[in-house]
Amino acid sequence: MHRKKIQQSLWGYFFIGPVFIGLLIFYIYPFIQNFLNSFYDINNFNRAKFTGIKNYTTIIADPEFWSTAYNTFIYVIISVPIGMAVSTFLAALLNSSIRGKSLYRTLYFLPAVTMPAAIAMVWKWIFNGQYGLLNQILAVAGMSPRNWLSEPSTALYMIIIVAIWSSAGYNMVILLAGMQGISRSYYEAARIDGAGVFTQFFHITLPLLTPSLFFVMLTSMISGFQVFDTIYMMVGKASIAYESTQSLVMMFYRYAFDYGKKGYASALSVFIFLIIMCITIVQLKLQKKWVNYD
């Protein structure tokens, strides 16, 4: 029996070996190396000079970091709740008895399988200040056109609209699966008691959907703090709206590849990791008060 247990353990390690090696090479080792680099001043020729916590103190005293963190938090605070509301609404519609549900599911899910660069280019054309589709519609309605992606007051909100549109389909599928997992007996009992559609939704669907809602909220917030491609493609570096739309990951990219300050960029990435980790821990603590796993 002891020899059989050893053989089973060896086979288990054999099967998880490729995954473990992949995690070690592509995730664990880069993370450790990046953390160590954050204590060095590394130039374009990869010459490293140990500076201790200087990179971290510089970040804390850097006004650009705080303004960029503000942009990122605004992006997350607006896009995540609205995106969840839109996804929940779409999932509830597709969970009802309507014709062509398969077609609607496919159409709503298409943005999730479309390349972010292609999505950004299409929306960049829609928001174009000279010949964009949005301005043409406003002109028909008698309203003045605007440079949506060039004005600091509107650029970030246009990007938030794109984020909500592109993530709604993916989150909708997750929430729809959660809705379909709710037993129909609850709804039958509620109808017998005279409960209407809205009463059933707010007192049955939402409470029993909280595990799926929590998962969507958690993943949406993590991806929100890591937003890069949409902003990078839609707002150019020469734009006057660049500073008002720059995210933390974009700031990391600029310092690592444009300015060649790899040690400073590594410290930035550690800050991003700490922010995401702290918010995730808080969410895991708070979910015990509102997530219903029964």
Between CA 104 and CA 286 the distance in angstroms is: 34
Using pLDDT thresholds of 50, 70 and 90, give the confidence band for residue 223.
Answer: very high
Judge whether 106 lies within some domain: yes
Confirm if 52 and 39 have CB atoms less than 8 A apart.
Answer: yes
Flag whether 30 is in a domain.
Answer: no
What are the φ/ψ torsions at residue 50 (nearest 5 degrees)?
A: -70, 130
CB atoms closer than 10 angstroms to residue 210: 16
Q: What is the pLDDT of residue 271?
A: 93
Range of the domain at 113: 63-288
pTM for the structure as a whole:
0.89
Assess if residue 169 is contained within a domain.
yes
Quote the CA–CA distance of 105 and 169 in Å, as a whole number.
8
- Between CA 254 and CA 183 the distance in angstroms is 50
Element (H, E) at 50: strand 48-50
* Residue 241 lies inside a defined structural domain of this protein: yes
Distance CA 234, CA 28 (A): 32
Please tell me the predicted confidence (pLDDT) of residue 9: 82
Domain count, the chain: 1
Q: What is the pLDDT of residue 221?
A: 94
Q: What is the mean pLDDT of the chain?
A: 89
**Residue 52 within a domain:** no
Confidence of residue 78 (pLDDT cuts 50, 70, 90): very high
Once rounded to an integer, what is the mean pLDDT over residues 162-174? Answer: 92
Q: Which two tokens stand for residue 172?
A: 């909708």
90 occurs within a structural domain = yes
**Domain holding 191: CATH number?**
1.10.3720.10
Which residue from 75, 159, 153, 76 is spatially nearest to 120, judged by alpha carbons? 159
Residue 1 has pLDDT above 60, yes or no: no
Determine the average pLDDT of the residues in 188-214. 90
- Given a cut of 60, whether residue 75 has pLDDT beyond it is yes
- Residue 53 resides in a domain: no
